[in-house]
């Protein structure tokens, strides 16, 4: 009888502990109705001044037209965005912590190493930017064409360095694809963010960057863009030939948007989505985005989540072609 009593007591205590733990993560109906009644933190997982940060600063400028509380941008740079992605995934799903997610970054990192998040660890709000990838050198570089770049590295493998935003990021994946398609080896240099890439390139510390349209259109005269990863020439860089035009089968872009921790109440998701949809449709928002060199391309979260699943399959195929040593260099 005593044994039965102890077992029953143990089970009861387990239920109590579990219930208490759940109380800490649940959001009450009152919390949902009063949302937001405090500042909302927006995590930017890259360095200040980069394209992800600029996009969120533009969103922030319209925030107070939709919510009574502030949006507070905080930076959690490191490991190609992994530090910030992990913090966002682990945050309480109450709507007071949202953050930027980038693809293929959130796809590649969990595929390549043990991370504290997966590509589906988030409630995706919306894609805001679809930024084609470019290979660029300094405007005064001796390298004038993609053919020259490829030829130089073929003659002397790894003789040219290419700056990337971390490892297992969009820049990284596109560089791997370039090496695969062109049959070359470059020296990959991981950096904290887009602003660091530009600084290192213009300072003469690296030979090229694999970056975004937004990185090179703000000060075009400082760069020579060798190729762009679009199917057709881009309106913002009509003089730049595509990789495909130059015999390299490569189409690539980085998508950026906002997400919440998994299991955020749908009512809060809907409220934030509505505000983002309205903000991104404003002519002034569109104007500021273009002036900042950001390719605005709004896509609802459910559609972007579906696209992320498709991109995961493609990324797995690319990573399988390289061994760990080649990828990490």
**Is 97 within 8 Å of 41 (Cβ atoms)?**
yes
Q: How do residues 37-51 score in pLDDT, each as one tens digit?
A: 999 999 999 888 888
Q: How do residues 276-318 score in pLDDT, each as one tens digit?
A: 999 999 999 999 999 888 899 999 999 999 999 999 998 998 8
Distance from C-alpha of 29 to C-alpha of 132, rounded to nearest angstrom: 42
Using 50, 70 and 90 to split pLDDT, how confident is the model at 79? confident
* pLDDT at residue number 194: 83
Distance from C-alpha of 84 to C-alpha of 300, rounded to nearest angstrom: 22
* pLDDT at residue number 323: 65
* pLDDT at residue number 10: 46
Please check the confidence at residue 175 and state whether its pLDDT lies above 60. Answer: yes
Please check the confidence at residue 158 and state whether its pLDDT lies above 70. Answer: yes
Residues in the chain: 329
Cβ-Cβ contacts under 8 Å for 61 (sequence gap 6 or more): 288
The most confident of 5-14, 23-32, 167-176, by mean pLDDT: 167-176
Please check the confidence at residue 21 and state whether its pLDDT lies above 50. Answer: no
Q: Which of 322, 116, 134, 162 is nearest to 227 (CA)?
A: 134
Q: Residue 184 has which token pair?
A: 């070359």
Distance from C-alpha of 198 to C-alpha of 215, rounded to nearest angstrom: 7
Span 75-89, mean pLDDT? 93
* pLDDT at residue number 156: 97
Strand-strand pairing, 40-44 and 97-103:
parallel
Distance from C-alpha of 33 to C-alpha of 40, rounded to nearest angstrom: 16
* pLDDT at residue number 327: 55
Distance from C-alpha of 256 to C-alpha of 56, rounded to nearest angstrom: 10
């Amino acid at each position: 009888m005593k044994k039965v009593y102890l077992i029953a007591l143990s089970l009861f205590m387990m239920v109590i502990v579990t219930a208490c733990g759940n109380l800490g993560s649940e959001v009450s109906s009152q919390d949902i109705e009063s949302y937001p009644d405090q500042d909302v933190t927006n995590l930017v997982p890259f360095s200040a001044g980069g394209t992800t940060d600029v996009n969120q600063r533009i969103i922030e400028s319209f925030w107070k037209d939709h919510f009574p509380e502030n949006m507070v941008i905080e930076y959690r740079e490191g490991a190609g965005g992994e530090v910030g992605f992990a913090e966002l995934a682990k945050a309480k799903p109450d709507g007071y912590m949202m953050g930027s997610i980038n693809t293929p970054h959130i796809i590649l990192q969990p595929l390549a190493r043990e991370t504290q998040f997966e590509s589906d660890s988030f409630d995706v709000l919306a894609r805001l930017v679809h930024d084609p990838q470019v290979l660029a050198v300094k405007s005064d570089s001796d390298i004038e064409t993609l053919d020259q770049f490829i030829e130089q590295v073929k003659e002397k493998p790894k003789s040219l360095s290419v700056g990337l935003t971390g490892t297992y990021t969009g820049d990284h994946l596109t560089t791997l694809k370039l090496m695969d398609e062109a049959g070359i080896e470059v020296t990959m240099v991981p950096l904290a963010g887009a602003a660091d890439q530009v600084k290192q390139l213009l300072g003469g510390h690296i030979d090229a960057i694999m970056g975004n349209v937004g990185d090179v259109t703000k000060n075009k005269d400082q760069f020579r863009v060798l190729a762009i990863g679009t199917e057709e020439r881009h309106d913002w860089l009509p003089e730049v030939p595509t990789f495909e035009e130059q015999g390299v089968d490569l189409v690539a872009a980085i998508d950026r948007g906002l997400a919440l921790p998994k299991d955020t109440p749908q009512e809060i998701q809907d409220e934030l989505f509505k505000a983002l949809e309205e903000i991104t449709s404003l002519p002034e928002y569109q104007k500021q985005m273009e002036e900042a060199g950001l390719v605005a391309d709004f896509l609802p979260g459910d559609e972007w989540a579906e696209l992320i699943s498709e991109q995961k399959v493609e990324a797995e195929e690319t990573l399988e072609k390289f061994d760990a040593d080649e990828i990490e260099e």
